[in-house]
Amino acid sequence: MRIGTTVVNTKKAKTKQGTPMRVTVTWRSNRNSATRGDLLCRPVIKKGPKRKVTVIVADSCRLRVTVTYRAAGTRTYMAYKNSFTYKV
Protein backbone atom coordinates (compact mmCIF):
# COMPACT_ATOMS: atom_id res chain seq x y z
CA MET A 1 0.00 0.00 0.00
CA ARG A 2 1.27 3.48 -0.76
CA ILE A 3 0.34 7.08 -0.09
CA GLY A 4 -2.57 7.88 -2.36
CA THR A 5 -5.51 5.80 -3.57
CA THR A 6 -5.51 1.99 -3.45
CA VAL A 7 -8.44 -0.23 -4.46
CA VAL A 8 -8.48 -3.19 -2.06
CA ASN A 9 -11.66 -4.86 -3.34
CA THR A 10 -12.84 -4.53 -6.93
CA LYS A 11 -16.42 -4.43 -8.18
CA LYS A 12 -18.19 -7.77 -8.04
CA ALA A 13 -15.20 -9.49 -6.38
CA LYS A 14 -15.72 -13.24 -6.12
CA THR A 15 -13.77 -16.34 -5.11
CA LYS A 16 -12.91 -19.08 -7.58
CA GLN A 17 -16.07 -20.86 -6.51
CA GLY A 18 -18.21 -17.82 -7.37
CA THR A 19 -19.22 -16.70 -3.87
CA PRO A 20 -19.13 -12.92 -3.32
CA MET A 21 -16.19 -11.60 -1.30
CA ARG A 22 -16.57 -8.99 1.43
CA VAL A 23 -13.75 -6.87 2.80
CA THR A 24 -13.11 -5.25 6.19
CA VAL A 25 -10.46 -2.56 6.59
CA THR A 26 -9.02 -1.70 10.02
CA TRP A 27 -6.12 0.57 10.82
CA ARG A 28 -3.82 1.46 13.69
CA SER A 29 -1.48 4.43 13.88
CA ASN A 30 1.99 4.63 15.33
CA ARG A 31 2.06 6.17 18.79
CA ASN A 32 4.61 8.85 17.88
CA SER A 33 2.67 10.17 14.92
CA ALA A 34 -0.71 9.87 16.68
CA THR A 35 0.25 12.42 19.34
CA ARG A 36 1.14 15.14 16.87
CA GLY A 37 -1.64 17.62 16.27
CA ASP A 38 -0.60 18.71 12.77
CA LEU A 39 -0.98 15.26 11.15
CA LEU A 40 -4.22 13.51 10.38
CA CYS A 41 -3.20 9.90 10.92
CA ARG A 42 -6.24 8.22 9.50
CA PRO A 43 -7.00 6.64 6.13
CA VAL A 44 -10.19 7.44 4.27
CA ILE A 45 -12.17 4.32 3.39
CA LYS A 46 -14.62 4.73 0.50
CA LYS A 47 -17.25 2.11 -0.22
CA GLY A 48 -18.39 2.12 -3.81
CA PRO A 49 -21.04 0.21 -5.73
CA LYS A 50 -21.12 -3.60 -5.79
CA ARG A 51 -18.56 -4.28 -3.01
CA LYS A 52 -15.83 -1.92 -4.29
CA VAL A 53 -13.66 -0.60 -1.42
CA THR A 54 -10.95 2.05 -1.78
CA VAL A 55 -8.42 3.18 0.85
CA ILE A 56 -6.97 6.69 0.57
CA VAL A 57 -3.96 7.68 2.69
CA ALA A 58 -3.33 11.42 2.62
CA ASP A 59 -0.54 12.18 5.10
CA SER A 60 2.85 10.65 5.60
CA CYS A 61 2.40 9.37 9.14
CA ARG A 62 3.00 5.72 9.94
CA LEU A 63 -0.04 3.47 9.80
CA ARG A 64 -0.69 -0.25 9.90
CA VAL A 65 -3.66 -1.05 7.68
CA THR A 66 -5.18 -4.56 7.90
CA VAL A 67 -7.43 -5.79 5.10
CA THR A 68 -9.54 -8.89 5.81
CA TYR A 69 -11.29 -10.71 2.98
CA ARG A 70 -14.25 -13.01 3.76
CA ALA A 71 -16.60 -15.17 1.73
CA ALA A 72 -19.41 -17.37 2.95
CA GLY A 73 -19.16 -21.12 2.65
CA THR A 74 -21.49 -23.38 0.70
CA ARG A 75 -22.37 -27.06 0.99
CA THR A 76 -19.40 -28.09 -1.10
CA TYR A 77 -16.86 -25.37 -0.18
CA MET A 78 -15.60 -24.07 3.14
CA ALA A 79 -15.77 -20.40 4.11
CA TYR A 80 -12.88 -18.18 3.00
CA LYS A 81 -10.98 -15.76 5.24
CA ASN A 82 -7.62 -14.14 4.63
CA SER A 83 -5.92 -11.07 6.13
CA PHE A 84 -3.15 -8.86 4.80
CA THR A 85 -1.30 -6.20 6.79
CA TYR A 86 0.29 -3.21 5.06
CA LYS A 87 2.66 -0.72 6.68
CA VAL A 88 2.14 2.78 5.31
> pLDDT per position in the chain (88 positions), as tens?
556 677 887 888 888 888 888 888 888 876 665 555 655 667 778 888 887 888 877 766 777 888 899 999 989 889 999 998 887 7
**DSSP H helical segments within 1-88, as ranges?**
31-34
- How many angstroms separate the CA atoms of 69 and 24, rounded? 7
Q: What is the pLDDT of residue 70?
A: 92
Burial 54-75 (b: 16+ CB within 10 A, else e): bbebeeebebebebebebeeee
Q: What is the pLDDT of residue 60?
A: 67
Give the E-state strand segments of the chain in sequence order.
4-9, 21-29, 44-47, 53-57, 63-71, 80-87
Q: What is the pLDDT of residue 35?
A: 59
